[in-house]
Amino acid sequence: MKTNCGAKKRFALTGTGKIKRKHAFKSHILTKKTTKQKRNLTQTGLVHKSDEKNVKSMLRV
């Protein structure tokens, strides 16, 4: 089976098996967002437990 190429670019596995992701809302219309908001959106987050099964199936893990 093929890996979903869009998911391959957007997600990364950690050593413990969790899935890293980037935050949304950081691409445009940044003038109205505070510096603190933009700084916090830069950091990576983790995929929620309820979505992990779907993302792992797209990554064929």
pLDDT in tens, 33-60: 999 999 999 999 999 999 999 999 999 9
Q: State residue 45 phi and psi, 5-degree precision.
A: -120, -175
When divided into structural domains, the chain yields a total of 1
Residue 54 belongs to domain with CATH number: 4.10.410.60
DSSP string of 19-57, one letter each residue? EEEE-SS-SS--TTS-HHHHHHHHSEEE--HHHHHHHHH
Reference 45, options 15, 22, 18, 12; nearest CA is: 22
Short-list 49, 40, 44, 50, CA closest to 11: 44
Rounded to two decimals, the pTM is 0.84
Domain that holds residue 26: 5-59
